[in-house]
Chain A
Amino acid sequence: MTESDKTRRRNRWFMIAALIVAGAAFTVIAASGISDNLVYYWTPSDLHANGKKAYGASIRLGGMVAKNSIKKIGGSNVEFIVHDGKSRVAVKTTSVPPQMFRENIGVVVEGTMVPGGYFESSRLMVSHNNEYKAPEAGHPVDRKELERMMKSVEQGNT
């Protein structure tokens, strides 16, 4: 084995080690970046089940607007209750309600739980899903349907 072969081999090992270190560092950065920026797709029941975790987390809350719960409070601020047949969550939003917003319609609100026990949202979206049908009064909301709806109301398509 010549001298230059040796250095070349050493160089190659050095390169591989450097790549592994760089790859590991990148993975750590990416993983922490992802875990800091997860958006959870929850129903009101999920939100209650997660307790304290709901405070401060980014949440896309999907459910139905409860009857007689819409209150307009100046400017574009609106308060209403979102339910999924089992649980209810009070929502305050600063976003202008879209054209279709009304009682008993599927909505997705983006935001987080704040002290005081209500869900603060800067974004209110009405279901764009053709196939989604509002359940009859008194019937529980189908979970699968809600999840489909939350997914279908993609970012931007408000």
Chain B
Amino acid sequence: MIPALGRLLILGSLLAAAAGAILGFAAGRTRSAEGLKWARRFAYLYSGLIVSAALLMVYALLAHDFSVSYVAQVGSRSVPTWVTIVSLWSSLEGSILFWGLVLGTYIGAATFLTRNRYEEYQPDAIGVWLACAAFFSFLIAGPANPFHTVPSPPLDGPGPNPLLQNHILMAIHPPFLYLGYVGFTIPFGFACAALLKGRLGHNVLKPLRESLMLSWIFQTVAIMLGGWWAYEVLGWGGYWAWDPVENASLLPWLTATAALHSIMVVERRGILKGWTITLVQATFLLVILGTFMTRSGVFNSVHSFKQSAIGPTILGFLAVSLLFVIGLLAFRIDKLEPEGRLEGAASREAMFLLNNLAFVLLTFTVLIGTVFPLIVEAMKGKQMSVGRPYFDSMTVPLGALLLFLLGVGPALPWGRASREQVKKALIPPIAGAAVFTLIGYALGVRSPWTLITLAFGGYAAQVTLSQMFLPMIQRMRNGEPLGSALIDGQLRRGRRRFGSYIVHAAVVLVIIAIAISSSMRTQLELHFVKGQTLKAAGYDVTFVGVEQRTEPHRLSTIGTFNIVKDGKPLTTLTPRMNQYQMMREPIGTPDVHSTAARDFYIALSNVDAAAETASISVFVLPMVMWIWLAVIAMALGALFGLIPSRRVILSAAKDPVPEGATETA
């Protein structure tokens, strides 16, 4: 019953998406208002059908209906309810259905929010969205169908991949990643619509920028959660390994970040239109490439699933999308008339250009390192991977350059600036650079790249903070009291500007924290017998004992360690080994004591409950907590910037010039 209904809903969503895509493109050509109305109706219909299909699957999982093939594959009566819900995205077929759920929600919401506005662009945008939707519905209906009927349903299933059951973050990380990944479809639709119309006007920049920003926020948090999960679960004392799958999530983020910056140049100067559109389209293509890499089994890692027909199908879609984008750019990019030109080398727009160049180089660096082994394997049949030193040595200088630009760019004015203005803008922040470097040196930083990072970071921090509160300070100079200057200058008006400087300040913190935590980490291995106390990087670690605990779905072996620092008891850490049913090897879970200054992190590498011995890896990692906190601040700052400012709400009706043109963000 449920399998048949599920298949019906998927088929319906495929038809609705295909029909709506054709109607949308047709309405874009004929400018028919009636056609647009129908395209919208099909968008809503698609949305409703695919969301219902996904909810039906959640119901089947919760009801343990093992006649549904996907439930038989990943369901289990012995796992907690949250794991059952998480099962929706824990395996290949379900994860594509979850993609459909997110895409359906996005398309429905975007169509609704842009109705009666942007009518020039909406038909083509709906056409592009629904064309993508049709592809994914085809994938769910065909190669990745989760709604097959199981003729003789089993009484119980194996449950999802144990590694994914091992931490609650598995319930949060994938949804954020999908909200980011899938969300990039929406700005892609607007970018293609602008090219099809041959015009990138101010009115379409707003939904383009806002949808891109929203997906960027989700993607930012998702990348952080992925790193956090690796840190909390995998037990190697790190948060980023340049694993192909991690790179797949980073690549579209890099191009999206570049696009968010170049959009501002389009708003202010009317140049870089074609470039901006190319970046938005590249973001979407990298999303599809990433999906291919993670969903086709070409890389085997935590995230990858079994080899299947889905890989070639996604590769085909990637090829078609790439041809579509290249063709569109080739025929249409000349139509996007620039309205201005680059005025001078020492201007903010020139810094934006350099920023974009650095982001694109970073994207290429990571892309080449990720795809190279695939190409070698496809051509020569040899297996290899690109080692971490390649990524580190290439990305660290580019990251430093970006941090430098993050300081210099906002300090410089738009347009042509006099020599005096440039001097006045660029010299004072050297004080910030000196302060950060000296503090770092005093605290023991000796690595040259880390010192450079601190200098650039200090420079950028001073520029960012003085720019951030500029509106408030100007109001106070004009005699306004602090309270009203703060509320009017920072919180009510110019939210986008304030928000972006919060993001910048947080980025400075993230980069410094990454540089320090990776260059100043301590790692050692300790071997204990019960009751023994050993010294580890200024801490005294005592092995108290081992305990075994049986839970319905796993057997845990837990080591207990007392940590003492400077004679004072600090904490008790309990790293564990979890043995899941139907899994041959146990999975470790490290335990971490986090403080603002440093994390003390231990992972069990070997434990013998009978002999009461244990070997552990100990890591002392400075500043790690700041990475998580600063990324959250990045997301919140960007979110704050998305709230429309008061002035804009009041004047939107009569003033066609968008908010960006009146602000200096």
Give me the interface of A with B, judged by CB distance under 8 Å.
26, 29-30, 33-34, 36-41, 58, 60, 75-76, 96-100, 126-130, 147-148, 150-152, 154-158
Chain A neighbourhood of B364, CB < 8 A:
26, 30
Min Cβ gap B358→A in Å is 11
The answer to whether A41 and B385 touch (CB under 8 A), given A26-B364, A33-B393, A99-B605, is yes
The answer to whether A126 and B302 touch (CB under 8 A), given A41-B383, A98-B606, A157-B234, is no
- Find out whether the CB atom of B383 lies under 8 angstroms from the CB atom of A37: no
Cβ-based interface call for B12 (8 A):
no
- Find out whether the CB atom of B238 lies under 8 angstroms from the CB atom of A156: yes
The segment from B46-54, B482-490, B579-587 found at the interface with A is B579-587
Cβ-based interface call for B664 (8 A):
no
Q: Please list the 9 inter-chain residue pairs (A to B) with the smallest Cβ-Cβ separation, ordered nearest first.
A: A37-B390, A41-B383, A37-B387, A151-B300, A152-B300, A154-B301, A156-B236, A96-B605, A155-B241
Cβ-based interface call for B386 (8 A):
yes
Cβ-based interface call for B415 (8 A):
no
Cβ-based interface call for B572 (8 A):
no
Query: Which residues in chain B, 248-277, are within 8 Å of chain A measured between CB atoms?
Result: none
Task: Name which of B299, B384, B607, B615 has the most chain A CB atoms within 10 A of its CB.
Answer: B384
A40 to B383, CA, bound (A): 6
- Find out whether the CB atom of B365 lies under 8 angstroms from the CB atom of A156: no
- Find out whether the CB atom of B605 lies under 8 angstroms from the CB atom of A100: no
Chain A neighbourhood of B585, CB < 8 A:
98-100, 126-128
The answer to whether A36 and B390 touch (CB under 8 A), given A26-B361, A98-B605, is yes
Give me the interface of B with A, judged by CB distance under 8 Å.
230, 234-236, 238, 241-243, 299-302, 361, 364-365, 368-369, 372, 382-390, 393-394, 525, 527, 577, 582-586, 588, 604-607, 615, 617
Chain B neighbourhood of A97, CB < 8 A:
606
DSSP majority for the B interface? mixed
The answer to whether A34 and B372 touch (CB under 8 A), given A26-B361, A100-B586, A156-B234, is yes
Min Cβ gap B606→A in Å is 5
In-complex Cβ contact of A38 among B235, B386, B604 (8 A)? B386
Chain B neighbourhood of A154, CB < 8 A:
241, 243, 299-302
Chain A neighbourhood of B243, CB < 8 A:
154-156
Residue ID in chain A nearest B239 by CB atoms? A156
The answer to whether A96 and B525 touch (CB under 8 A), given A34-B372, A156-B238, A157-B302, is yes
In-complex Cβ contact of B615 among A58, A96, A129 (8 A)? A96
A98 to B364, CA, bound (A): 36
A157 to B364, CA, bound (A): 26
- Find out whether the CB atom of B388 lies under 8 angstroms from the CB atom of A155: yes
In-complex Cβ contact of B390 among A33, A129, A152, A157 (8 A)? A33
Q: A96-B605, A130-B582 are in contact. List 12 more A-B contacts (CB 8 A).
A: A33-B393, A34-B390, A37-B388, A75-B527, A99-B586, A99-B605, A100-B586, A129-B300, A148-B300, A156-B238, A157-B236, A157-B301
List 6 A-B pairs, Cβ < 8 Å.
A33-B394, A37-B388, A97-B606, A98-B585, A99-B586, A154-B299
A58 to B617, CA, bound (A): 23
Chain B neighbourhood of A58, CB < 8 A:
387
Min Cβ gap A121→B in Å is 14
- Find out whether the CB atom of A38 lies under 8 angstroms from the CB atom of B384: yes
The answer to whether A41 and B586 touch (CB under 8 A), given A34-B369, A154-B301, is no
A127 to B583, CA, bound (A): 12
Residue ID in chain A nearest B368 by CB atoms? A30
- Find out whether the CB atom of B606 lies under 8 angstroms from the CB atom of A96: yes
A98 to B584, CA, bound (A): 13
- Find out whether the CB atom of B615 lies under 8 angstroms from the CB atom of A40: no
Min Cβ gap A28→B in Å is 12
In-complex Cβ contact of A147 among B241, B365, B383, B584 (8 A)? B383
A33 to B385, CA, bound (A): 13
- Find out whether the CB atom of B368 lies under 8 angstroms from the CB atom of A76: no
Min Cβ gap A31→B in Å is 8
- Find out whether the CB atom of A34 lies under 8 angstroms from the CB atom of B615: no
- Find out whether the CB atom of A156 lies under 8 angstroms from the CB atom of B386: no
The answer to whether A130 and B583 touch (CB under 8 A), given A34-B369, A154-B300, A156-B234, is yes
Min Cβ gap A51→B in Å is 16
A38 to B349, CA, bound (A): 38
